[in-house]
Every structure is written in C-alpha cells, then in structure tokens.
Amino acid sequence: MFGDFEAQRHWMELTYNLPIKEWYVNSTDNDLLYWGLDYPPLTAYHSYILGYISNKINPNWTKLYESRGITDNDHKIYMRITVLIADILVYMTSFIYFWYLTAKSKNQWLILSSLTLLYPGLIMIDHGHFQYNCVSLGLLILSLCFASLDRPLLTAAIFSLALNYKQMELYHSLPMFAYLLGSCLFKSGNSVSGSKPTRTGLALFFQLVFVTCATFLVCWAPFLYEKDSFLSVLTRLFPFERGIYEDKVANLWCALSVFIKFKAIFDRKTLICLSTILTLCGCLPSFLKCLTCPNQKSLTLALVCSSLSFYLFSFQVHEKSILLVAIPVMLLFQEYSYSCVNFLMISCLSMYALFVKDGLMLPYYSLFVMYFLLLCQELLLNTSGSHYIKFSYKIFLYRLSTILSLILSLSFHWIKLPDGKWPDLMTLLISQFCFLHFFYYLIYFNYRIIVFDNSSSSANSKEFANQALPTTGKKGI
C-alpha cells in the first residue's frame, strides 16, 4: 500500500488529527491494519511536528482519510526534505563530531567522515526506501561521542532517546548497559581519556538509573495515565504475530528454513524462546568483555557483536536491520579497514532485493561505485608492501567476495527460469551468500574483542589500516 513513504506520511496525518491516547489504539479513525504506528513515542512526536508543518503548508497533505496515497509532487519534495534535514542535523553532525574527537589528524578526519557519511546502505534506505533511521543512529553516535569524553550521564540520556525513537536500538542496548555498569564497577575503565574518575561507583550508578528513568518517563508520560494505553504501545512495538523473519533476510532462520520448516515444527512461543537464547549467547562474550573492560574500543566491538547477534538470531528481523550493524562497523575503520569495507559491501548486497522492489537500481549502482571506488581506494591501495604480503590470502578472499557479489547482483536480473519456477531463487541465493559472511564476521569480531588487551597499545591491535590512513600532522580542524 504505497510503501514506507506512505507509512511515514500517514503517521503525520494521524498524530496531527487524533488525540495522543488514540495514536496506538485501533479505532474508527485509526485503522492499525493501514500502516498503524509501530515505533516508540519519540517517533510519534517527530511525526506530529512534521505533520503540523505539513498542514500549515497544505492542509490536504494531512487531511484524515482523504490524504491517503497522495501523489502531489510538492508534498513529495516536502517529505524528502524532512529526511535530509534530519540527516544533516542528527546523523551527519554526530558522525563528524565523533571523528573530530577520535581521528589522529585533520586528513584522517576528512577521510573517515567521507567513508561514513557516504555509506550507500543508509542513503538508499532513508532517502530511497524512505525512513528516518538517521535520527536513531545519529543519536547512537552522539552517545558514543559523550562516552569518549567520559560523560556517562549524557551518554545514558542520549542513548535512551535513541531507544525511544526506534525500538531496534535494543540491538545496541546490552553493550551500552555493560559499558555504563562497568564504568561504575571498574573505576580504572571509567575514563577513556585516562583522567581520574570524579565520582564513586555507587553514586554514579544511582545517577545513571535516575537519568535513564527520567528520560523514559518524559518520553512515555502521555501513555502512562492508564494500563491499557501503556500496553497498547508495547503491543505495537513488538508485533510477534508477524513471524520469525520477513522476506529473504540474511539471518539464521531464513538460511535454515530451506531445510527446516521452523513454523511447522515449533509454535510461536518456542521460537521466541529459542531465538532469545541464541541471541543472548551470541552477545555474551562481548557483553562480559565490555563489562570488565569499559572503554571506547571494547564498546565499539561489543556494539558490532551484539547488533550482529540480534540480526542473525533474534525474532522478527527485517533486511533493513543490517544498518544497525553497519553503523558500528564503520567506527572500526581505523583498526580493521579491509574487514569493514567488505562487510559494508555485503550489507548493501543483503538489501538488494528491497532496492529492486523500490526501483532504485540506478542510484544503487551509482552510489555503490562511487563509494567503493573513489573513497575506499585510500584503504585498499595505500597498505604497505609488508602488510600486503602477510595478509595476501585475506585480500584474495575479499576480492573473491567482491566478484561473487557483483555476479549475484547482475544474475538477479539475467537469470530467469522457465515457466516461472522458483521466482525467489536469486533472492534466496543472495541472502544465503550474505548470511555466510555475517556469520563469519560474528565469529571474527567476537574473537577480536575476546583477545583484545586493554593494556596493549592501539598500534598492536590494528589490522591493516595502520598505514592505510594518513596520520601526519597535528590533530585539529
């Protein structure tokens, strides 16, 4: 029904016209089967603000019932601009600030900012498929900025806002909880910068609890006046009735469903329990490491491991959820450059069928070529000769992976079986191919965080990028 573009527009329509208590409740004016609101309150408030502005520009854009499926060109421009503004104000600003705090030189700051801001996956989903992932992901990066500055209270508050904008930020919640709790328990890791802590662990713990609860209370206040209203929001946020996965997502359940029909063997409750156990097992090593060694690098690695575990094993996963893994992976460019480039390439491929469905092939290939040829040359070509020889087998595998990715994406259009047999064959092959990569990277990054020694210098933990990124010159802009 008109895609996610209409979903976002419809939320502006219903939040502007209906009282807050009806936003998440099925009623005559709010048919939840027609793009019912299924994100946390902060998204609803954002939709209300955009709907208010939209109504001031043209009341027909938010008119109840009558505005459904609107195709007005001016309205499309308005909707696209709203994503761009959110992208600039939250996501771009947060990432630029993050690299300003962590990059070793101005030149490196420019390269890393370009590599992260021009990632095709998020651009295609937010501006092509039409989402506002840039807001929650930008808030996540902003919370990491405050973590690097040793501001745990601001870290907790900003991450709570991210979680209240999109519930998928639960993918990152366990590492963030481990980092903040570890900052209270292990004072030596309380400060990334090495400065001495100024709070006792117990006092900091209660301050974190207060800030987090206060943030949630402010966001949820209109829905706490009665139990039914609160439960209606929770029911919309966790729609277990949709099934264990959607479409051909590159996770464990879709990969094994070719051989095992999970829905025929297990009931829904059993699948929920099984997926929860596997997800927690995948998160446990990185959680414990981040808890006992709370610093910037352990937190970043734990964010990757946790989000990838949620993507591979959790209940009700969509293709777009790989963005929640890709963003933390981009933060590891300086240490694991080749692995990051390969992962981001595969993450784009995993959403290929979605891009085809939305008719986004031209922008997909344009962005893909621009990103991996013009930007990532700094990572792939400037590696020193000694590193090149030492890791030649890995470089060969990365190149093989790139070639196979290109073949699969082109075969999606070229291979057509007669009589309409197996119409989803190429989509399934792509998802299986991506799943093998993601499963490997779950093992790889879990291994990296387990063997990571907090006392060792960062130079000893770098993979390839030690010389791939220029670090000459003084830090500053």
Domain containing 321: what range?
72-461
Q: Which band of pLDDT confidence, cut at 50, 70 and 90, is reported for residue 28?
A: confident
Q: How far apart are CA 414 and CA 400, in angstroms?
A: 21
Which of 218, 221, 166 has its CA nearest to residue 39? 166
144, 279, 442 from 450: Cα distances, Å: 21, 18, 12
Q: Which one has a higher pLDDT value, 31 or 378?
A: 31
H-type helices in 186-313, by residue range? Answer: 201-220, 227-237, 252-256, 262-265, 268-292, 296-313
- Inside any domain, residue 104: yes
- Inside any domain, residue 9: no
Which residues, in sequence order, are CB contacts of 117 under 8 Å at separation 6+?
Answer: 92, 95, 96
Q: Which band of pLDDT confidence, cut at 50, 70 and 90, is reported for residue 257?
A: confident
Q: Which band of pLDDT confidence, cut at 50, 70 and 90, is reported for residue 114?
A: confident
- Inside any domain, residue 62: no
Using DSSP's 3-state secondary structure scheme, residue 473 falls into coil
- Look up tokens 């992962």; give the residue: 343
Number of domains making up the chain: 1
Q: Which band of pLDDT confidence, cut at 50, 70 and 90, is reported for residue 77?
A: very high
Highest mean pLDDT: which range of 21-35, 148-162, 186-200, 336-350: 148-162
- Inside any domain, residue 476: no
φ, ψ of residue 317 to 5 degrees: the values are: -115, 140
Q: Which one has a higher pLDDT value, 215 or 235?
A: 215
- Inside any domain, residue 4: no
**Percent share of the chain, pLDDT over 90:** 47
- Look up tokens 């490196």; give the residue: 108
User: Is the pLDDT score of 7 beyond 70?
Assistant: yes
User: Is the pLDDT score of 391 beyond 60?
Assistant: no
Provide mean pLDDT across the span 361-385: 71
- Inside any domain, residue 453: yes
**Percent share of the chain, pLDDT over 70:** 86
- Inside any domain, residue 336: yes
pLDDT for res 386: 38
Q: Which band of pLDDT confidence, cut at 50, 70 and 90, is reported for residue 468?
A: very low
Q: Which band of pLDDT confidence, cut at 50, 70 and 90, is reported for residue 399?
A: confident
Q: How far apart are CA 134 and CA 415, in angstroms?
A: 35
pLDDT for res 394: 73
Summarize pLDDT for 166-194 with one digit per residue, the tens: 999 999 999 999 999 999 987 544 444 44
